């Protein structure tokens, strides 16, 4: 591990500790009622008890799986569509208007449609997660394919490479930094939509657990849920960062 990266990690830990200290200071000073803002100790105690005695671990896993499955579905569709539109003017002519119509729609706006089609089921949550996570990946892939070096395509024509070979061997590697950047944004969107879908559909997960706790004014459980969501975000971001360093090793070596 390089010294610069270690420095960033230490700075992040110090910032996190400072935020927890500030949180504790606000609670101790009674600036906000403990009914609405529990102490860090209460939130941690609620989380540990839920993991040891309750079914919080199952809820955590359920939310994580919905997030990942929805993100994988969005990745497959988004990368495929982005590559197709970015490398084909015909596909752009046929699909561009439809995508531009759907793109401005906020993801929560499709929840009533998803409920009407799938009902209050896991399939509804999965479809909403996939829709919300689709656009960052699609747009980043499209941008990456369009900005590929034109001279590489000239070489491909000289070598008489097929369209599929050009996409796989030239355009996709060139677009990979943009795709991975879009994947990070897509992961964030998929987690947010998984929690929102659980709250609205009433399916078991961290989102539904937090909603039920909030209605009963059990604020320690609400903040325990926030901690769990933060853990999901940190873990998935770390895994994607590892993939970034593996797939784009050449880029990091240039720094």
Alpha helices in 149-171 (DSSP H): 150-158, 163-166
Predicted confidence band of residue 199 (pLDDT cuts 50, 70, 90)? confident
Whole-prediction pTM: 0.82
Please classify residue 13 by burial: count the beta carbons closer than 10 Å to its beta carbon, then call 0-12 exposed, 13-18 middle and 19+ buried: exposed
Q: What are 80-97's pLDDT values in tens digits?
A: 888 888 777 777 777 777
- 32: phi > 0 → left, psi -120 to 50 → alpha, else beta; which? beta
Residues 61-74 have pLDDT tens digits of 888 899 999 999 99
What pLDDT digit, counting tens, does each position of 151-198 carry? 766 777 777 777 777 777 777 777 888 888 888 889 888 988 899 888
Is the pLDDT assigned to residue 102 strictly greater than 80? Answer: no
Map residue 154 onto helix, strand or coil: helix
User: Strands, DSSP E only, in the chain?
Assistant: none
Structure tokens at 157: 């024509």
| Domains delineated in the chain | 40-253 (1.10.3720.10)
Q: How far is it, in rounded angstroms, from Cα 253 to Cα 39?
A: 44
> Over pLDDT 90: what percentage of the chain?
4
Which pLDDT belongs to residue 175?
80
Handedness of CA 74, 77, 80, 84 (dihedral sign): negative
Residue 251: per-residue pLDDT: 59
Number of CB atoms found within 10 A of residue 55's CB: 13
Q: Are 221 and 54 in contact (CB under 8 A)?
A: no
């Amino acid at each position: 591990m390089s010294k610069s990266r270690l420095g960033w990690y230490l700075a992040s830990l110090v910032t996190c500790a400072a935020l927890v200290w500030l949180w504790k200071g606000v609670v101790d000073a009674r600036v906000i009622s403990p009914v609405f803002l529990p102490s860090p100790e209460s939130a941690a105690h609620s989380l540990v008890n839920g993991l040891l005695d309750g079914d919080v671990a199952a809820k955590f896993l359920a939310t994580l799986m919905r997030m990942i499955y929805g993100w994988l579905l969005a990745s497959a569709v988004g990368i495929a569509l982005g590559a197709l539109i970015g490398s084909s003017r015909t596909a752009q002519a046929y699909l561009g208007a439809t995508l531009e119509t759907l793109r401005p729609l906020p993801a929560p706006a499709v929840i009533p449609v998803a409920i009407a089609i799938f009902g209050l089921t896991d399939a509804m949550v999965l479809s909403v997660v996939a829709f919300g996570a689709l656009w960052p990946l699609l747009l980043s892939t499209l941008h990456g394919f369009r900005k590929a070096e034109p001279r590489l395509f000239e070489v491909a024509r000289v070598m008489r490479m097929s369209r599929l070979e050009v996409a796989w061997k030239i355009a996709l590697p060139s677009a990979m930094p943009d795709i991975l950047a879009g994947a990070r944004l897509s992961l964030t969107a998929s987690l947010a939509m998984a929690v929102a879908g659980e709250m609205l559909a009433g399916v078991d997960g961290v989102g539904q657990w937090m909603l039920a706790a909030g209605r009963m004014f059990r604020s320690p459980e609400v903040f325990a849920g926030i901690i769990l969501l933060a853990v999901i975000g940190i873990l998935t971001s770390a895994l994607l960062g590892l993939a970034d360093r593996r797939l784009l090793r050449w880029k990091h070596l240039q720094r």
